[in-house]
Structure formats: structure tokens, C-alpha cells
């Protein structure tokens, strides 16, 4: 793994999915890294890119990508239901930001899985105290979701954040079984 294992994990989990069967994708908690990885992996898919309202850190860069396959949406996933159905929902470093925007981890997790989709990818830092990887697995086991793949990888260089040092990233590929 290289020093940004969350990207390697995202690529690895996407590579297990059929390109033909995934044409409607939601990048839940979007940013340049996840969005560019998704649109290059699925060259024909249309992608909704959800960002927390007014989060200019991310809005500027994803608008600059100017892809006609990308629809940028400013919406709080916890406050407004998402009626659309997707083939795949990607939550790449989303859950660790729940509290930053006044939501709880558990609420954001539940709202994420209330979005209609066949597959979900959830990636975060194992050491992030705001994220609970076991709670994701427990939530899936208690509901209609099956963990198809779990990857945990060590960063070559630990990623230093304000409240933790990210040594490992984890990623789940989850399938809806209803
Ligand atoms: C750390 S960034 C992840 C960026 C992106 N996935 C990437 O690879 O660059 C977290 C993202 O989640 C979004 N976010 C956090 N809480 C949210 C919420 N409740 N509803 C919608 N988006 C949210 C932020 O606006 C931001 O786009």
C-alpha cells in the first residue's frame, strides 16, 4: 500500500464491481479524490456528488472538474431524505465529519443506509475516534445489509490530523440483501 491507503482501498473495492451494472452512483460526502476515482473507474456512469451545504473546501474543486456526468448537490444527508435510487453509494471519509456539521455518527450512518442502493462503500480511518468501524459492521448485521468485503491497510506514512494520527484505513463493500 502507498501512503494514502484510503485511495488504494477505494480503487480495490471499486475493481470488484461491474462497470456495466453501476450506472447511477452517489458520492456521499464528495471531494476531488473520491469523485475523480469514481468517474475514471466508471466512464459512462452518472454521479450525484453530495456536499454539506456551503462546504466550499469541496465545492470549488469538484465544480472545477466540470464533468457533464456529475451533478453537484448541496444537502445535509441527515436533514433531507434522498429519494433517488442508486446502484452504488460511496462514503469516502464522510462519517468522520458527522460532528463537524452538528450530526452524530450513528445518525449519519443510518441516513446513509436509508439511501436506496444495491452497493455501498464506506471508507475511513481506523484510528479516528469519531468513527466506529465495529458499529458499521454491527449495523449491517442487524439490518438488511451484508458485508461482502472488508479491507484494512496501513499507510506508509501516518496521516496526522488535529485529533488523531491515521495509521490505518479501513473499507467495507456492503450489499443490500432486500
Ligand atoms: C473529508 S471530506 C471527504 C471528501 C471526499 N470524499 C474526497 O475523497 O475528497 C467529507 C465530505 O463529507 C461532506 N459531509 C459531511 N457531513 C455531511 C452531511 N451531513 N451531509 C452531506 N455531506 C456531508 C463534506 O461536505 C465533505 O464533502
Percent of the chain residues topping a pLDDT of 90: 96
The second-level CATH assignment, the architecture, of 5-176 is 3-Layer(aba) Sandwich (3.40)
The model's pLDDT over 35-65, given as tens digits with 9 standing for 90+, comes to: 999 999 999 999 999 999 999 999 999 999 9
Could you report the per-residue pLDDT of 2-33, keeping only the tens digit for each?
A: 559 999 999 999 999 999 999 999 999 999 99
CA–centroid distance, residue 21 to ligand 1 (Å)? 25
Give per-residue pLDDT as tens, 55-107.
999 999 999 998 999 999 999 999 999 999 999 999 999 999 999 999 999 99
Give the helix/strand (H/E) hosting 58.
helix 56-64
Of 1-10, 34-43, 156-165, 169-178, the least confident: 1-10
Q: How confident is the model at residue 178 (pLDDT cuts 50, 70, 90)?
A: confident
Among protein residues, the one with the nearest Cα to ligand 1's atom 1 is: 93
Mean pLDDT calculated for residue range 153-173: 96
Spatial distance between the Cα atoms of 145 and 89, rounded to a whole number of angstroms: 13
Q: Which atom of ligand 1 is nearest to the CA of 58?
A: 27
- How many angstroms separate the CA atoms of 164 and 18, rounded? 35
Nearest one of 144, 134, 132 to 174, comparing CA atoms: 144
Amino acid at each position: 500500500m502507498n501512503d494514502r491507503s484510503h485511495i488504494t482501498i477505494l480503487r480495490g473495492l471499486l475493481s470488484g464491481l461491474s462497470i456495466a451494472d453501476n450506472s447511477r452512483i452517489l458520492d456521499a460526502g464528495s471531494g476531488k479524490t473520491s469523485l475523480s476515482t469514481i468517474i475514471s473507474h466508471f466512464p459512462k456512469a452518472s454521479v450525484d456528488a453530495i456536499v454539506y451545504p456551503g462546504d466550499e473546501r469541496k465545492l470549488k474543486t469538484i465544480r472545477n472538474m466540470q464533468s457533464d456526468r456529475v451533478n453537484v448537490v448541496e444537502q445535509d444527508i441527515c436533514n433531507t431524505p434522498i429519494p433517488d435510487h442508486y446502484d452504488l453509494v460511496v462514503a469516502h471519509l464522510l462519517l468522520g465529519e458527522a460532528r463537524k456539521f452538528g450530526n452524530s455518527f450513528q445518525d449519519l450512518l443510518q441516513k446513509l443506509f436509508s439511501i436506496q442502493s444495491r452497493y455501498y462503500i464506506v471508507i475511513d480511518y481506523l484510528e479516528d475516534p469519531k468513527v466506529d468501524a465495529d458499529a458499521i459492521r454491527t449495523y449491517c448485521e442487524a439490518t438488511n445489509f451484508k458485508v461482502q468485503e472488508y479491507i484494512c491497510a496501513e499507510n506508509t506514512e501516518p496521516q496526522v490530523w488535529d485529533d488523531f494520527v491515521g495509521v490505518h484505513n479501513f473499507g467495507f463493500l456492503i450489499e443490500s440483501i432486500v
